[in-house]
């Protein structure tokens, strides 16, 4: 196991170095895009945090991936084309085929009406990449279990197995209870999806997948649906007819309990969204200090701090996946637990 831990430390260090280098290069590209324009730190930060119809890796024509645009209108139906058409040779936004792109929203040029945008944006592309990586990794782990049946795990199986066992025995089983096996596949998928998404977001040029409120809200809605659809009579009884509470207090407690059904997934979505986005903003803000002050000493100090915070961000990536899975397990466990109340005279 010591060899595995050494590999993990080496991988984390390489990711930290790559991320710091990538952030510096991206900020330099943003600064050099228009030499006559003053450096705008807010613009650079928002460009990396928000979703986009293009994926910019580094400065230059070949450093940009133009993603497919898919739009639908009642008059024209479904249309698709490359986002490259929205940009001229100077990388200025221009209308194309009756459509215009403003602040990452697509409108009809004639009426200004916003269209139904089904495009493959940067976050959507990262979502597909994340899913493909998950499939490849766990297919390899499954093959390892078949090949090394009854033997000590090797390779990627040795890396993933302790994490699976930890999530099962320390997170899911204690919080869900005896029925944990029914919900284990979902909770493991949730954990690794968030973990891999967080780590992908720290790579150079990557998108802010788990820092997108739409993504975190979708994950939270999944937990919300599973929790409430699996809720037993005891769970709903505690919400609508809390035992052991005088009738006048039930009038006050009932709306609070109903509100609590919806605040739980909201807290899940907002917690992950805020934690990941805030980390990216802090890193980018420190990098931008180099170009704001234009000082070598500021650059050296900023780079050292970024390296330290970037290592913390790697830790946060795992912690946020753990916290989201932990609370999801807790909510599901509360819904499926059997409560027995004694009558007190």
User: How would residue 21 be classed by pLDDT, with cut points 50, 70 and 90?
Assistant: very low
132-186 pLDDT per residue, tens: 999 999 999 988 888 877 777 788 888 899 999 999 999 999 999 898 999 999 9
282-312 pLDDT per residue, tens: 888 888 888 778 777 777 888 888 888 888 8
Distance between CA 88 and CA 100 in Å, rounded?
13
Task: Say if pTM beats, i.e. exceeds, 0.85.
Answer: no
What does DSSP say about strands 116-117 and 68-73: parallel, antiparallel, or unpaired? antiparallel
The CA–CA distances, whole Å, from 47 to 16, 204, 221, 227 equal 21, 14, 27, 36
Residue range 46-56: mean pLDDT, rounded:
84
> Which of 168, 200, 187, 201 minimizes the C-alpha distance to 230?
187
Locate tokens 């795990």: which residue?
Answer: 153
The answer to whether residues 237 and 245 touch, using CB atoms and an 8 Å cutoff, is no
Distance between CA 268 and CA 291 in Å, rounded?
36
H/E run at residue 241: none
């Amino acid at each position: 196991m010591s060899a595995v831990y050494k590999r993990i430390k080496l991988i984390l260090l390489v990711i930290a170095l790559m991320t710091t280098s990538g952030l510096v290069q991206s900020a330099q590209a943003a600064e050099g895009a228009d030499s006559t324009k003053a450096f705008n730190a807010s613009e650079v930060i928002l460009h990396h945090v928000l979703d986009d119809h293009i994926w910019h890796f580094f400065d230059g024509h070949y450093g940009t991936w133009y993603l497919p645009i898919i739009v639908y209108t009642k008059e024209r139906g479904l249309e698709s084309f490359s986002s490259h058409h929205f940009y001229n040779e100077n990388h200025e936004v221009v209308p194309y085929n009756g459509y215009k792109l403003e602040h990452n929203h697509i409108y009809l040029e004639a009426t200004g009406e916003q269209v139904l945008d089904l495009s493959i944006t940067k976050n959507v592309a990262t979502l597909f990449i994340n899913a493909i990586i998950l499939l490849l990794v766990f297919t390899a782990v499954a093959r390892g279990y078949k090949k090394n049946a009854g033997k000590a795990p090797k390779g990627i199986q040795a890396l993933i197995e302790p994490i699976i066992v930890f999530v099962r025995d320390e997170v899911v089983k204690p919080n869900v209870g005896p029925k944990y096996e029914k919900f284990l596949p979902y909770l493991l998928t949730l954990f690794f999806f968030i973990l891999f998404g967080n780590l992908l977001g720290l790579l150079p040029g990557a998108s802010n997948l788990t820092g997108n409120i739409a993504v975190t809200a979708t994950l939270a809605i999944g937990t919300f649906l599973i929790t409430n659809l699996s809720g037993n009579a005891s769970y709903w009884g505690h919400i609508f007819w809390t035992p052991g509470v005088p009738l006048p207090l039930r009038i006050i407690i009932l709306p609070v309990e109903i509100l609590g059904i919806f605040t739980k997934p909201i807290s899940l979505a907002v917690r992950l969204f805020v934690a990941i986005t805030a980390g990216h903003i802090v890193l980018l803000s420190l990098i931008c200090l180099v170009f704001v002050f234009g000082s070598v000493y500021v650059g050296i100090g900023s780079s050292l701090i970024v390296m330290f915070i970037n290592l913390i961000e790697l830790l946060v990536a795992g912690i946020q996946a753990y916290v989201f899975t932990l609370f999801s397990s807790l909510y599901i466990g509360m819904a499926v637990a059997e409560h027995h109340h004694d009558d007190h005279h």
